[in-house]
């Protein structure tokens, strides 16, 4: 993972009602707003409930969360990787 990638993307996790719930509704909501996404995971690995994980551009995270919550997805969270100064210096060595 490069620093450039980390600076431009964040992970968004959306809880689903059912394991087999189609992802197309999420993609449709965000595509209408021209928010590009990349699905990177699906299932129960990160949470006890079924969920989907995708990447969105960092500057569109708040807009993506709001759009999904307004369309009936109440459990949406975003995560961004932030390196500590110690880990950055270790990576340079």
Give the residue carrying structure tokens 């450039």.
Answer: 4
Domain residue spans of the chain: 3-92
Per-residue pLDDT of the chain (93 residues; tens, 9 = 90+): 444 544 578 999 999 888 777 788 999 999 999 999 888 887 666 567 788 999 999 899 999 999 999 999 989 999 987 665 554 444 444
Fold classification of 3-92 (topology level): Alpha-Beta Plaits (3.30.70)
What pTM does this model have? Answer: 0.73
């Amino acid at each position: 993972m490069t620093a450039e990638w980390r600076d431009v993307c964040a992970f968004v996790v959306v809880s689903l009602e059912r394991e087999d719930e189609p992802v197309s509704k999420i993609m449709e909501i965000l595509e209408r707003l021209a928010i590009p996404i990349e699905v990177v995971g699906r299932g129960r690995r990160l949470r006890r409930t079924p969920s989907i994980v995708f990447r969105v551009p960092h500057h569109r995270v708040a807009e993506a969360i709001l759009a999904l919550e307004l369309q009936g997805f109440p459990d949406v969270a975003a995560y961004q990787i932030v390196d500590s100064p110690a880990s950055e210096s270790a990576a340079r060595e």
